[in-house]
Structure 1
């Protein structure tokens, strides 16, 4: 049995705006605001044999919280951060040590409450040092989105991620139908680090998807800084649609549930140079409506400067499907655009109204300048499943 001592007097100290309580009860950190109460309402006695691995006002972040009992067994440990979030944890087989599942986050105050099996209790408080640099991220699709069957889960980081494996371990994808998928790392078109989760095959329509990035307290590595919060996004997979673009025959076909809905004449990029279209499996990134398109932004000099209707972005490099009434004489007969998939206004309006962000556009044909790059939009569908899996930091 653990022997306990009479209650010690307590003192209160301010720490980073959070009340932190000190007592002699714990050997490695500060204690509670007053005598702990046992379940029967009687004052419980502080246990001098319980210690915490973190203490003070500048404790090290990025490590688990450990509460240790020198003899006897721990009955219960509660660690709560300054936002009221409780850390989960487990007690060792011998009952002597409790370890949190999550790591202590930077710039955060924590309160520890521990009880031994014979009724001894102790409270403690500590705070971790503030981060010198914070890393943030952008998630796509956005929260509560409904997207097409080809849209990956995509994360772009504000700062470099050197600890890719550690970060990937804290990214969890759950689906309503146990979809098989894998993470893959790349350099985004913007030059930032990016990681996408792609299913082995296109999503099944109606699938419910949740991405949890439990990154609070994780270090990005050199030059990247700390993550100081978690992220969650929920996505629903919409209609089963596929757009097939045949550059050689100058046709665009919309298929729904495997059946052709409409066949549209189109004109792709002029073959033989930079104005040719990209081929491959791409993904509709956004529906942008009427936008100004200027050739200078895609490295084609002063070839054009137009307001373009029903614009549907397919790549970061500027390949769109859109209305192109000025090219009407070539629809269905020749590829004479500056790289985009052009249609007459009526057909473009119809396609624009039907498609969803995340719908796959599969572009085939000889009249192309190559296959869309991995990071030029969502190009991961152009990799085999094995090659995509190889891009995981955990492989």
Structure 2
């Protein structure tokens, strides 16, 4: 299985090959959003309230000057629209948005105060009325209203996916992974990234980063997530212009939790895996890695999928002579190209001594089951010393680069302080 090469992108919210040796034709895990995901809270900000009404889309009485968008009478507005404003001599304190039936639409202010974001995608071909109130230092208010009509259903859409499920617990290295089909071009990524919200509790810094093809974006911090972290993610791209006349298919969202720290480290020199849980070494076990013709990749990978039983079948790619079909137990995928941690009873004698696998991390049946029972999706595994470097994008490779390199992938500016942060990578 071959995947696109990955680079990396950022938004911080304070209050996101060649045929592999083991299996070249295993299906990748589906993004959670493709099988349904509930909506998540809008970006953090003040709670909107209703305000007094004054006609028009601009106002400038007293010291407060206020301009609101979309402009009054605007039609064919994307259903992803935000209520934007420019204000001087005061600050916006309340925003109220209602549909044609008078029903209030929830939402919150952006942290930089530049706009108000509805908590859900607006409905197509509907009229909306917005009321925005700004207040100056003396308490004088300025209220402006605007009305607009949203566009009909988009003819061309960008498919999206989110690799997170609601109410699941993930490992400390779980990046927030978003997919786009077709990929987002460079010139359009900043606008899309501005609608990708991640909130962490407790608060931890983070950066978004895109693949070179724009088909994926990762969100992670300088260090692994803290145990117990709550991740609230909203990829608010439903109806958002994504370039080339396309619009995002729908919002994607999930609320998940980060579990205990469980880190696997494999050294080709010793042919051993060291398992560290919550900072303490809990087990060291022998492994066999890829033989010379099918080497394992060196780098930091993440458990992406777990199957108690599966079949590795490479006959379609390699033919009946070179290919093979083998039943496998306790398989944990770590690359898209088909490298796994898995039970290999046939190589127990080689484990700890020599490499005989087709690129996978072979362990004994008992060790494979022990690992399988302990790991979570998102647990990191670092392999060193094989001489074959992990290709960017061959799996969730967000941690297989330095933080300095990671932040370069952002389509939005990254603060100097955040870019200089020190962490695990």
| Pairwise same-fold verdict (TM > 0.5) | yes
Unaligned segments of structure 2, at least 5 residues? 1-50, 58-69, 86-91, 134-139, 414-425
Partner of 1:249: 270
In the alignment, structure 1 residue 390 sits paired with structure 2 residue 408: yes
Q: CA RMSD in A?
A: 3.6
Q: Which residue of 1 aligns with 2:179?
A: 156
For residues 330-377 of structure 1, the C-alpha deviation after alignment (integer angstroms, 9 at most, x for no partner) is 111110111111112111111111111111111112x34x22122111
- Mapping for residues 221-370 of structure 1, pairs under 5 Å: 221-222=243-244, 225-227=246-248, 229-271=250-292, 273=293, 275-296=294-315, 302-365=322-385, 367-368=386-387, 370=388
Which stretch shifts more, 316-325 or 242-251?
A: 242-251
SS at match of 1:312: strand
SS at match of 1:263: strand
Instruction: Give the direction of change, closer, same or farther, for the CA distance of 1:79–1:326 in structure 2 (3 Å limit).
Output: same
Are the aligned partners of 2:183 and 2:216 in contact in 1 as well (CA < 8 Å)? Answer: no
Structure-2 change in CA distance of 1:244 and 1:85 (3 Å): farther
Distance 1:85 1:243, change over 3 A: farther
User: Is the contact between residue 71 and residue 147 of structure 2 (CA under 8 Å) also seen in structure 1?
Assistant: no
Aligned length: 328
| Residue number among 233, 236, 241 corresponding to 1:211 in the alignment | 233
- Is this contact kept in 2: 1:107–1:131, CA < 8 A? no
- Check whether the contact 1:79–1:110 (CA below 8 A) recurs between aligned residues: no
**Which of 100, 124, 136 is residue 107 of structure 1 equivalent to?**
124
* More deviation, 335-344/172-181: 172-181
- TM-score normalized with structure 1 length: 0.72
Unpaired stretches in structure 1, ≥5 consecutive residues: 1-38, 68-73, 91-98
Q: Is 2:198 the counterpart of 1:181?
A: no
The 3 A distance-change label for structure 1 pair 75 and 384 is: closer
Question: Contact 1:77–1:113 (CA<8 Å) still a contact in 2?
Answer: yes
Higher relative contact order (CA 8 A, sep 6+): 2
Is this contact kept in 2: 1:281–1:363, CA < 8 A?
Answer: yes
Query: In structure 1, how many angstroms separate the alpha carbons of the residues matched to 2:77 and 2:359?
Result: 53
Aligned residue number for residue 397 of structure 2 = 379
Q: What TM-score, normalized to structure 2?
A: 0.68
Give the corresponding residue for 1:145: 168
State how far apart, in whole Å, the 1-side matches of 2:389 and 2:268 are. Answer: 13
Q: Secondary structure at the match of 2:406?
A: helix
